[in-house]
Structure 1
Amino acid sequence: MNWAQMYDCYGDIDRVPELLARVEREDDAEAWDELGYRLILECDLVFPASFAALPRLVRLGSRSAPARELAGAIVRCAAGGHGCDDLLAGCVEAIAEFRELLDRRLRSRPDDYLATFRDLIAVEGHYHWSAVLGDFSDDFYQVACPHCAEEVTIAIGDYGSYSAIRDWNLGDVDRRDLRPASPEELSGPGRWMHETAVRDGEVVLADGITHLFGQAECPRCASVFNIADEYASSNRPLM
Protein backbone atom coordinates (compact mmCIF):
# COMPACT_ATOMS: atom_id res chain seq x y z
CA MET A 1 0.00 0.00 0.00
CA ASN A 2 1.44 3.35 -1.05
CA TRP A 3 0.48 5.39 1.99
CA ALA A 4 2.07 8.48 0.44
CA GLN A 5 -1.16 8.85 -1.57
CA MET A 6 -3.60 7.78 1.13
CA TYR A 7 -4.71 10.97 2.84
CA ASP A 8 -7.26 11.08 5.66
CA CYS A 9 -9.91 13.72 6.40
CA TYR A 10 -7.22 16.18 7.48
CA GLY A 11 -5.08 15.56 4.41
CA ASP A 12 -2.45 13.76 6.49
CA ILE A 13 -0.73 10.71 4.99
CA ASP A 14 1.25 9.40 7.96
CA ARG A 15 -1.07 9.48 10.97
CA VAL A 16 -3.43 6.63 10.03
CA PRO A 17 -0.68 4.01 9.55
CA GLU A 18 0.81 5.06 12.89
CA LEU A 19 -2.55 4.60 14.60
CA LEU A 20 -3.14 1.25 12.92
CA ALA A 21 0.21 0.04 14.18
CA ARG A 22 -0.77 1.12 17.71
CA VAL A 23 -4.09 -0.75 17.73
CA GLU A 24 -2.46 -3.82 16.20
CA ARG A 25 -0.06 -3.91 19.16
CA GLU A 26 -2.68 -3.25 21.84
CA ASP A 27 -6.33 -2.28 22.24
CA ASP A 28 -5.74 1.46 22.57
CA ALA A 29 -9.07 3.28 23.08
CA GLU A 30 -7.56 6.68 22.38
CA ALA A 31 -6.06 5.48 19.10
CA TRP A 32 -9.38 3.92 18.06
CA ASP A 33 -11.18 7.21 18.70
CA GLU A 34 -8.70 9.13 16.58
CA LEU A 35 -8.86 6.56 13.79
CA GLY A 36 -12.63 6.91 13.73
CA TYR A 37 -12.68 10.65 13.16
CA ARG A 38 -9.75 10.57 10.74
CA LEU A 39 -11.31 7.91 8.51
CA ILE A 40 -14.98 8.98 8.56
CA LEU A 41 -16.42 12.47 8.88
CA GLU A 42 -19.74 13.00 10.67
CA CYS A 43 -21.44 13.51 7.30
CA ASP A 44 -20.39 9.96 6.34
CA LEU A 45 -17.57 10.99 4.02
CA VAL A 46 -14.70 8.56 3.56
CA PHE A 47 -11.23 9.09 2.14
CA PRO A 48 -8.42 7.12 0.46
CA ALA A 49 -6.98 6.27 3.88
CA SER A 50 -10.35 4.72 4.85
CA PHE A 51 -10.14 2.08 2.13
CA ALA A 52 -6.41 1.66 2.61
CA ALA A 53 -7.06 0.83 6.26
CA LEU A 54 -9.98 -1.54 5.58
CA PRO A 55 -7.99 -4.79 5.05
CA ARG A 56 -6.06 -4.27 8.30
CA LEU A 57 -9.26 -3.48 10.18
CA VAL A 58 -10.89 -6.65 8.86
CA ARG A 59 -7.92 -8.73 9.96
CA LEU A 60 -8.29 -7.28 13.45
CA GLY A 61 -12.06 -7.72 13.42
CA SER A 62 -12.15 -11.28 14.70
CA ARG A 63 -10.78 -10.13 18.07
CA SER A 64 -11.58 -6.42 18.19
CA ALA A 65 -15.04 -4.83 18.41
CA PRO A 66 -13.75 -1.33 17.49
CA ALA A 67 -12.12 -2.80 14.36
CA ARG A 68 -15.40 -4.46 13.31
CA GLU A 69 -17.38 -1.30 13.98
CA LEU A 70 -15.00 0.92 12.03
CA ALA A 71 -14.75 -1.53 9.13
CA GLY A 72 -18.55 -1.71 9.03
CA ALA A 73 -18.87 2.07 9.05
CA ILE A 74 -16.44 2.37 6.12
CA VAL A 75 -18.34 -0.25 4.11
CA ARG A 76 -21.66 1.48 4.83
CA CYS A 77 -20.19 4.71 3.43
CA ALA A 78 -18.95 2.99 0.26
CA ALA A 79 -22.05 4.05 -1.67
CA GLY A 80 -21.21 7.74 -1.31
CA GLY A 81 -19.44 10.01 -3.78
CA HIS A 82 -15.97 9.40 -2.35
CA GLY A 83 -14.05 9.26 -5.64
CA CYS A 84 -12.19 6.16 -4.46
CA ASP A 85 -13.79 3.50 -6.65
CA ASP A 86 -10.40 2.10 -7.64
CA LEU A 87 -9.42 1.67 -4.00
CA LEU A 88 -12.79 0.12 -3.17
CA ALA A 89 -12.31 -2.36 -6.02
CA GLY A 90 -8.96 -3.27 -4.48
CA CYS A 91 -10.73 -4.22 -1.24
CA VAL A 92 -12.70 -7.11 -2.77
CA GLU A 93 -10.83 -9.81 -0.86
CA ALA A 94 -11.01 -7.89 2.41
CA ILE A 95 -14.75 -7.33 1.97
CA ALA A 96 -15.27 -11.04 1.24
CA GLU A 97 -13.34 -11.86 4.41
CA PHE A 98 -15.44 -9.33 6.32
CA ARG A 99 -18.62 -10.97 4.98
CA GLU A 100 -17.54 -14.33 6.42
CA LEU A 101 -16.56 -12.75 9.73
CA LEU A 102 -19.92 -10.99 10.09
CA ASP A 103 -21.89 -14.10 9.15
CA ARG A 104 -20.02 -16.19 11.73
CA ARG A 105 -20.74 -13.55 14.33
CA LEU A 106 -24.45 -13.47 13.49
CA ARG A 107 -24.64 -17.24 13.96
CA SER A 108 -23.37 -16.72 17.52
CA ARG A 109 -26.36 -14.40 18.19
CA PRO A 110 -24.37 -11.51 19.67
CA ASP A 111 -25.85 -8.68 21.74
CA ASP A 112 -25.16 -6.30 18.84
CA TYR A 113 -27.01 -8.54 16.38
CA LEU A 114 -28.85 -5.74 14.55
CA ALA A 115 -25.71 -3.62 14.08
CA THR A 116 -23.84 -6.66 12.76
CA PHE A 117 -26.79 -7.55 10.51
CA ARG A 118 -26.83 -4.04 9.06
CA ASP A 119 -23.09 -4.23 8.37
CA LEU A 120 -23.62 -7.49 6.52
CA ILE A 121 -26.43 -5.92 4.49
CA ALA A 122 -24.00 -3.17 3.43
CA VAL A 123 -21.34 -5.73 2.55
CA GLU A 124 -23.93 -7.34 0.27
CA GLY A 125 -24.38 -3.95 -1.43
CA HIS A 126 -27.86 -3.07 -0.14
CA TYR A 127 -26.78 0.26 1.33
CA HIS A 128 -30.28 1.76 1.52
CA TRP A 129 -31.54 -1.07 3.74
CA SER A 130 -28.38 -1.01 5.84
CA ALA A 131 -28.96 2.67 6.55
CA VAL A 132 -32.59 2.45 7.68
CA LEU A 133 -33.40 -1.05 8.94
CA GLY A 134 -34.50 -0.96 12.57
CA ASP A 135 -35.49 -3.57 15.12
CA PHE A 136 -39.18 -3.29 14.15
CA SER A 137 -40.23 -2.16 17.59
CA ASP A 138 -41.42 1.18 16.19
CA ASP A 139 -40.14 1.64 12.61
CA PHE A 140 -41.42 4.13 10.03
CA TYR A 141 -40.72 4.43 6.30
CA GLN A 142 -41.93 7.15 3.95
CA VAL A 143 -42.87 6.14 0.42
CA ALA A 144 -44.69 7.79 -2.43
CA CYS A 145 -47.67 5.92 -3.79
CA PRO A 146 -46.71 4.90 -7.35
CA HIS A 147 -50.25 5.58 -8.56
CA CYS A 148 -51.25 8.93 -7.05
CA ALA A 149 -47.87 10.18 -5.69
CA GLU A 150 -49.34 10.69 -2.19
CA GLU A 151 -46.72 10.43 0.56
CA VAL A 152 -47.60 7.36 2.60
CA THR A 153 -46.26 6.49 6.03
CA ILE A 154 -45.45 2.82 6.57
CA ALA A 155 -45.39 1.78 10.23
CA ILE A 156 -44.06 -1.58 11.41
CA GLY A 157 -43.80 -2.24 15.11
CA ASP A 158 -45.35 -2.86 18.48
CA TYR A 159 -48.06 -0.24 17.85
CA GLY A 160 -49.23 -1.81 14.62
CA SER A 161 -48.17 -2.50 11.06
CA TYR A 162 -50.06 -0.24 8.69
CA SER A 163 -50.00 2.37 5.95
CA ALA A 164 -51.37 5.81 6.78
CA ILE A 165 -51.38 9.48 5.91
CA ARG A 166 -49.34 11.39 8.46
CA ASP A 167 -51.04 14.46 9.84
CA TRP A 168 -48.76 16.44 12.15
CA ASN A 169 -51.73 17.47 14.30
CA LEU A 170 -53.79 14.27 14.27
CA GLY A 171 -51.03 11.69 13.85
CA ASP A 172 -51.34 8.76 11.46
CA VAL A 173 -54.83 8.83 9.97
CA ASP A 174 -56.79 6.54 7.65
CA ARG A 175 -54.75 3.49 8.59
CA ARG A 176 -54.76 0.38 6.43
CA ASP A 177 -53.26 -2.92 7.61
CA LEU A 178 -50.15 -4.05 5.77
CA ARG A 179 -50.18 -7.27 3.80
CA PRO A 180 -47.00 -9.14 4.75
CA ALA A 181 -45.34 -11.37 2.20
CA SER A 182 -45.20 -15.08 2.90
CA PRO A 183 -41.64 -16.40 3.17
CA GLU A 184 -42.22 -18.34 -0.07
CA GLU A 185 -43.04 -15.10 -1.91
CA LEU A 186 -39.85 -13.34 -0.90
CA SER A 187 -37.01 -12.98 -3.40
CA GLY A 188 -33.73 -11.08 -3.75
CA PRO A 189 -32.49 -9.20 -0.68
CA GLY A 190 -35.76 -9.69 1.18
CA ARG A 191 -35.47 -13.47 0.96
CA TRP A 192 -31.82 -13.46 2.02
CA MET A 193 -32.46 -11.10 4.93
CA HIS A 194 -35.45 -13.14 6.11
CA GLU A 195 -33.64 -16.47 5.85
CA THR A 196 -30.69 -15.09 7.83
CA ALA A 197 -32.95 -13.75 10.60
CA VAL A 198 -34.88 -17.05 10.77
CA ARG A 199 -31.65 -19.06 10.86
CA ASP A 200 -30.47 -17.04 13.85
CA GLY A 201 -33.75 -17.18 15.77
CA GLU A 202 -34.49 -13.44 15.33
CA VAL A 203 -38.27 -13.87 15.21
CA VAL A 204 -39.27 -10.19 15.45
CA LEU A 205 -36.74 -9.17 12.81
CA ALA A 206 -37.87 -11.93 10.46
CA ASP A 207 -41.54 -10.97 10.87
CA GLY A 208 -40.76 -7.30 10.30
CA ILE A 209 -38.97 -8.14 7.06
CA THR A 210 -42.05 -9.95 5.73
CA HIS A 211 -44.03 -6.76 6.33
CA LEU A 212 -41.38 -4.47 4.86
CA PHE A 213 -41.20 -6.61 1.72
CA GLY A 214 -44.96 -7.06 1.60
CA GLN A 215 -47.71 -4.83 0.23
CA ALA A 216 -49.45 -1.67 1.40
CA GLU A 217 -52.70 -0.01 0.42
CA CYS A 218 -52.58 3.70 -0.31
CA PRO A 219 -55.09 5.43 2.00
CA ARG A 220 -55.71 8.11 -0.62
CA CYS A 221 -56.39 6.14 -3.82
CA ALA A 222 -56.74 2.57 -2.44
CA SER A 223 -54.15 1.16 -4.86
CA VAL A 224 -51.90 -1.62 -3.60
CA PHE A 225 -48.13 -1.52 -4.06
CA ASN A 226 -44.98 -3.31 -2.96
CA ILE A 227 -43.41 -1.37 -0.09
CA ALA A 228 -39.80 -2.43 -0.60
CA ASP A 229 -39.86 -1.77 -4.35
CA GLU A 230 -41.13 1.78 -3.89
CA TYR A 231 -38.80 2.55 -1.01
CA ALA A 232 -35.75 1.16 -2.79
CA SER A 233 -36.48 2.98 -6.05
CA SER A 234 -36.52 6.31 -4.18
CA ASN A 235 -33.62 5.68 -1.82
CA ARG A 236 -31.16 3.41 -3.62
CA PRO A 237 -27.87 5.36 -3.86
CA LEU A 238 -26.41 6.30 -7.22
CA MET A 239 -23.17 4.38 -7.65
Structure 2
Amino acid sequence: MVNWARMYDCHGDIDRVPELLARVEREDDAEAWDELGYRLVLERDLVFPASFAALPRLASRSARARGLAGTIVRCAAGGHGCDDLLAGCADAIAEFRELLDRHLRSRPDDYFATFLDLLAAEEQYHWSAVLGDFSDDFYQVACPHCAAEVTIAIGDYGRYSAIRDWHLGDVDRRGLRPASPEGLSGVGRWMHETAVRDGEVVLANGIAHLFGHAECPRCASVFNIADEYASSNRPVM
Protein backbone atom coordinates (compact mmCIF):
# COMPACT_ATOMS: atom_id res chain seq x y z
CA MET A 1 0.00 0.00 0.00
CA VAL A 2 1.38 3.39 -1.03
CA ASN A 3 1.70 5.98 1.71
CA TRP A 4 0.63 8.96 -0.39
CA ALA A 5 1.33 11.29 2.54
CA ARG A 6 5.04 10.97 1.59
CA MET A 7 4.60 11.02 -2.19
CA TYR A 8 4.82 14.65 -3.23
CA ASP A 9 4.50 15.56 -6.90
CA CYS A 10 6.25 18.16 -9.07
CA HIS A 11 4.34 20.92 -7.31
CA GLY A 12 4.91 19.64 -3.79
CA ASP A 13 1.34 18.41 -3.34
CA ILE A 14 0.62 15.03 -1.74
CA ASP A 15 -3.07 14.55 -2.44
CA ARG A 16 -3.72 15.49 -6.05
CA VAL A 17 -2.02 12.58 -7.87
CA PRO A 18 -4.04 9.80 -6.19
CA GLU A 19 -7.21 11.76 -6.94
CA LEU A 20 -6.26 12.07 -10.59
CA LEU A 21 -5.31 8.39 -10.84
CA ALA A 22 -8.70 7.40 -9.49
CA ARG A 23 -10.34 9.76 -11.95
CA VAL A 24 -8.60 8.38 -15.05
CA GLU A 25 -9.23 4.83 -13.85
CA ARG A 26 -12.95 5.58 -13.80
CA GLU A 27 -13.02 7.25 -17.21
CA ASP A 28 -10.66 8.39 -19.97
CA ASP A 29 -10.65 12.03 -18.88
CA ALA A 30 -8.34 14.11 -21.11
CA GLU A 31 -8.18 17.01 -18.67
CA ALA A 32 -7.20 14.70 -15.81
CA TRP A 33 -4.53 13.01 -17.98
CA ASP A 34 -3.02 16.38 -18.86
CA GLU A 35 -2.82 17.44 -15.23
CA LEU A 36 -1.45 14.05 -14.19
CA GLY A 37 1.30 14.38 -16.80
CA TYR A 38 2.59 17.74 -15.61
CA ARG A 39 2.36 16.70 -11.96
CA LEU A 40 4.36 13.51 -12.50
CA VAL A 41 7.04 14.74 -14.92
CA LEU A 42 8.45 18.26 -14.83
CA GLU A 43 9.20 19.42 -18.37
CA ARG A 44 9.79 15.80 -19.49
CA ASP A 45 12.97 15.67 -17.44
CA LEU A 46 12.49 15.50 -13.66
CA VAL A 47 10.45 12.97 -11.70
CA PHE A 48 9.38 12.91 -8.06
CA PRO A 49 8.20 10.38 -5.45
CA ALA A 50 4.61 10.51 -6.74
CA SER A 51 5.91 9.60 -10.21
CA PHE A 52 7.25 6.23 -9.07
CA ALA A 53 4.32 5.66 -6.71
CA ALA A 54 1.99 6.03 -9.72
CA LEU A 55 4.01 3.78 -12.02
CA PRO A 56 2.40 0.43 -11.06
CA ARG A 57 -1.03 1.91 -11.81
CA LEU A 58 0.09 3.24 -15.18
CA ALA A 59 2.16 0.36 -16.51
CA SER A 60 -0.68 -1.86 -17.70
CA ARG A 61 -3.41 0.55 -18.75
CA SER A 62 -4.31 2.54 -21.87
CA ALA A 63 -2.05 3.94 -24.59
CA ARG A 64 -1.99 7.28 -22.79
CA ALA A 65 -0.98 5.59 -19.53
CA ARG A 66 1.68 3.60 -21.37
CA GLY A 67 3.17 6.81 -22.77
CA LEU A 68 3.26 8.50 -19.37
CA ALA A 69 4.78 5.41 -17.74
CA GLY A 70 7.42 5.35 -20.47
CA THR A 71 8.32 8.99 -19.84
CA ILE A 72 8.73 8.28 -16.12
CA VAL A 73 10.95 5.26 -16.75
CA ARG A 74 13.09 7.24 -19.21
CA CYS A 75 13.70 9.81 -16.45
CA ALA A 76 14.76 7.15 -13.95
CA ALA A 77 18.46 7.68 -14.57
CA GLY A 78 18.27 11.33 -13.48
CA GLY A 79 18.99 12.84 -10.09
CA HIS A 80 15.59 12.29 -8.55
CA GLY A 81 16.66 11.06 -5.10
CA CYS A 82 14.05 8.29 -5.16
CA ASP A 83 16.19 5.19 -5.68
CA ASP A 84 14.33 3.26 -2.99
CA LEU A 85 11.01 3.93 -4.70
CA LEU A 86 12.44 2.99 -8.09
CA ALA A 87 13.71 -0.30 -6.66
CA GLY A 88 10.23 -0.97 -5.33
CA CYS A 89 8.86 -0.64 -8.87
CA ALA A 90 10.86 -3.61 -10.20
CA ASP A 91 7.80 -5.83 -10.67
CA ALA A 92 5.82 -3.04 -12.34
CA ILE A 93 8.71 -2.27 -14.69
CA ALA A 94 9.08 -5.96 -15.57
CA GLU A 95 5.36 -6.04 -16.41
CA PHE A 96 5.80 -2.83 -18.37
CA ARG A 97 8.63 -4.37 -20.43
CA GLU A 98 6.35 -7.24 -21.43
CA LEU A 99 3.57 -4.82 -22.32
CA LEU A 100 5.88 -2.73 -24.49
CA ASP A 101 7.29 -5.78 -26.25
CA ARG A 102 3.78 -7.03 -27.07
CA HIS A 103 2.93 -3.58 -28.41
CA LEU A 104 6.03 -3.56 -30.63
CA ARG A 105 5.06 -6.94 -32.09
CA SER A 106 1.81 -5.36 -33.32
CA ARG A 107 3.92 -2.91 -35.43
CA PRO A 108 2.10 0.19 -34.16
CA ASP A 109 2.28 3.74 -35.51
CA ASP A 110 4.21 4.76 -32.37
CA TYR A 111 6.77 1.98 -32.86
CA PHE A 112 9.89 4.10 -32.43
CA ALA A 113 8.68 5.91 -29.30
CA THR A 114 7.74 2.53 -27.81
CA PHE A 115 11.17 1.15 -28.73
CA LEU A 116 12.83 4.00 -26.82
CA ASP A 117 10.58 3.34 -23.80
CA LEU A 118 11.55 -0.33 -23.90
CA LEU A 119 15.23 0.60 -23.95
CA ALA A 120 14.69 2.65 -20.78
CA ALA A 121 12.76 -0.19 -19.16
CA GLU A 122 15.80 -2.39 -19.93
CA GLU A 123 17.97 0.26 -18.16
CA GLN A 124 19.61 1.27 -21.43
CA TYR A 125 19.04 4.90 -20.54
CA HIS A 126 21.84 6.33 -22.68
CA TRP A 127 20.45 4.73 -25.85
CA SER A 128 16.89 5.63 -24.93
CA ALA A 129 17.97 9.27 -24.65
CA VAL A 130 19.93 9.59 -27.90
CA LEU A 131 18.90 6.88 -30.35
CA GLY A 132 17.34 8.35 -33.47
CA ASP A 133 15.43 6.76 -36.31
CA PHE A 134 18.58 6.88 -38.49
CA SER A 135 17.22 9.40 -40.93
CA ASP A 136 19.49 12.17 -39.62
CA ASP A 137 21.62 10.81 -36.74
CA PHE A 138 24.94 12.08 -35.40
CA TYR A 139 26.96 10.78 -32.46
CA GLN A 140 30.07 12.38 -31.01
CA VAL A 141 32.73 10.01 -29.69
CA ALA A 142 36.34 10.39 -28.63
CA CYS A 143 38.84 8.18 -30.44
CA PRO A 144 40.21 5.80 -27.77
CA HIS A 145 43.69 5.98 -29.31
CA CYS A 146 44.32 9.67 -30.03
CA ALA A 147 41.37 11.33 -28.20
CA ALA A 148 40.25 13.19 -31.33
CA GLU A 149 36.57 14.13 -31.32
CA VAL A 150 35.00 12.06 -34.08
CA THR A 151 31.58 12.67 -35.60
CA ILE A 152 29.65 9.53 -36.49
CA ALA A 153 26.90 10.01 -39.08
CA ILE A 154 24.26 7.37 -39.71
CA GLY A 155 21.42 8.47 -41.94
CA ASP A 156 20.04 9.03 -45.42
CA TYR A 157 22.95 11.35 -46.26
CA GLY A 158 25.64 8.76 -45.46
CA ARG A 159 27.21 6.49 -42.89
CA TYR A 160 30.67 7.69 -42.01
CA SER A 161 33.13 8.92 -39.42
CA ALA A 162 34.58 12.41 -39.86
CA ILE A 163 36.17 15.37 -38.17
CA ARG A 164 33.62 18.15 -37.88
CA ASP A 165 34.74 21.56 -39.01
CA TRP A 166 32.16 24.24 -38.26
CA HIS A 167 33.13 26.12 -41.43
CA LEU A 168 33.75 23.25 -43.85
CA GLY A 169 31.36 20.65 -42.43
CA ASP A 170 32.32 17.01 -41.94
CA VAL A 171 35.77 16.53 -43.44
CA ASP A 172 37.98 13.51 -44.07
CA ARG A 173 35.07 11.09 -44.13
CA ARG A 174 35.65 7.37 -43.66
CA GLY A 175 32.94 4.79 -44.33
CA LEU A 176 31.59 2.90 -41.31
CA ARG A 177 31.97 -0.85 -40.96
CA PRO A 178 28.61 -2.26 -39.83
CA ALA A 179 28.45 -5.28 -37.58
CA SER A 180 27.09 -8.49 -39.04
CA PRO A 181 24.10 -9.97 -37.23
CA GLU A 182 26.32 -12.85 -36.12
CA GLY A 183 28.91 -10.44 -34.78
CA LEU A 184 26.50 -8.57 -32.51
CA SER A 185 26.23 -9.39 -28.81
CA GLY A 186 24.58 -8.07 -25.68
CA VAL A 187 22.22 -5.11 -25.99
CA GLY A 188 23.23 -4.49 -29.60
CA ARG A 189 22.15 -7.99 -30.59
CA TRP A 190 18.87 -7.64 -28.69
CA MET A 191 18.10 -4.24 -30.27
CA HIS A 192 18.89 -5.53 -33.76
CA GLU A 193 16.92 -8.76 -33.37
CA THR A 194 13.90 -6.85 -32.07
CA ALA A 195 13.95 -4.46 -35.04
CA VAL A 196 14.39 -7.34 -37.51
CA ARG A 197 11.60 -9.32 -35.86
CA ASP A 198 9.22 -6.40 -36.31
CA GLY A 199 10.18 -5.62 -39.89
CA GLU A 200 11.91 -2.31 -39.02
CA VAL A 201 14.56 -2.53 -41.73
CA VAL A 202 15.94 1.03 -41.44
CA LEU A 203 16.18 0.78 -37.67
CA ALA A 204 17.91 -2.61 -37.84
CA ASN A 205 20.41 -1.34 -40.41
CA GLY A 206 21.16 1.74 -38.34
CA ILE A 207 21.74 -0.36 -35.23
CA ALA A 208 24.14 -2.60 -37.17
CA HIS A 209 26.17 0.50 -38.08
CA LEU A 210 25.97 2.00 -34.57
CA PHE A 211 27.30 -1.23 -33.05
CA GLY A 212 29.87 -1.63 -35.78
CA HIS A 213 33.28 -0.03 -36.22
CA ALA A 214 34.60 3.34 -37.33
CA GLU A 215 38.01 4.52 -38.49
CA CYS A 216 39.40 7.60 -36.81
CA PRO A 217 40.16 10.21 -39.52
CA ARG A 218 42.97 11.60 -37.36
CA CYS A 219 45.06 8.51 -36.53
CA ALA A 220 43.42 5.81 -38.72
CA SER A 221 42.78 3.49 -35.76
CA VAL A 222 39.58 1.44 -35.76
CA PHE A 223 37.22 1.30 -32.79
CA ASN A 224 33.76 0.06 -31.83
CA ILE A 225 31.36 3.00 -31.98
CA ALA A 226 28.81 1.82 -29.41
CA ASP A 227 31.47 0.82 -26.89
CA GLU A 228 33.11 4.24 -27.00
CA TYR A 229 29.82 6.12 -26.84
CA ALA A 230 28.45 4.01 -23.98
CA SER A 231 31.64 4.24 -21.92
CA SER A 232 31.33 8.03 -21.88
CA ASN A 233 27.56 8.39 -21.62
CA ARG A 234 26.20 5.44 -19.64
CA PRO A 235 24.75 6.89 -16.41
CA VAL A 236 26.14 5.79 -13.06
CA MET A 237 23.24 4.30 -11.12
Normalised by the shorter chain, which TM-score bucket? over 0.9
Percent identity for Structure 1 against Structure 2: 87
C-alpha distance after superposition, 1:69-95 (max 9, x if no partner): 110000011111211111111111111
TM-superposed CA distance for 1:43, in Å, is 6.0
Superimposed CA distance per residue, residues 54-83 of structure 1 (whole angstroms, 9 cap, x where no aligned partner): 0001131xxx22101110000011111211
Alignment of 1:1-239 (within 5 A): 1-42=2-43, 44-60=45-61, 64-239=62-237
CA deviation vs aligned residue, 1:190-210 (integer Å, no higher than 9, x gap) = 000000001001111001000
User: In the comparison of the two structures, how many residue pairs are matched?
Assistant: 236
Asked whether the 8 Å contact 2:23–2:32 carries over to 1, the reply is: yes
Of 25-34 and 213-222, the range deviating more from structure 2: 25-34
2:127 is paired with a residue of what secondary structure? helix
Quote the Cα distance in structure 2 between the aligned partners of 1:161 and 1:113.
23
The runs of 5 or more residues in structure 1 that have no matched partner are none
- Counterparts of 1:39 and 1:237 in 2: how far apart (Å)? 22
* Bigger mean CA offset, 38-47 vs 185-194: 38-47
Residues 205-228 of structure 1: CA deviation (Å, up to 9, x unaligned): 001000000000011111110000
| Pairwise CA distance, 1:42 | 1.6
Distance in 2, Cα, partners of 1:14 & 1:171 = 53
Give the Cα separation in 1 of the matches to 2:40 and 2:12. 11
Report if aligned partners of 2:178, 2:210 keep a CA contact under 8 Å in 1: yes
Secondary structure (helix, strand or coil) at the match of 1:78 reads coil
| 1:192 aligned counterpart, secondary structure | helix
1:155-183 Cα offsets, whole Å, 9 max, x none, are 00111100001111111111000000001
The runs of 4+ residues in structure 1 deviating greater than 6 Å are none
Residue ranges of structure 2 left out of the alignment (5+ in a row): none
- Confirm or deny: 8 A CA contact 2:60 2:99 kept in the other structure: no
SS in 1 for 2:47: coil
Structure 2: how far apart are the matches of 1:111 and 1:10? 33
Hey, what's the Cα distance between the residues in 2 that align with 1:125 and 1:59?
A: 19
Task: Answer whether contact 2:44 2:71 (CA < 8 A) is retained.
Answer: no
Alpha-carbon distance in 1 for matches of 2:208, 2:93? 28
Amino acid at match of 1:134: G
CA RMSD in angstroms comes to: 0.8
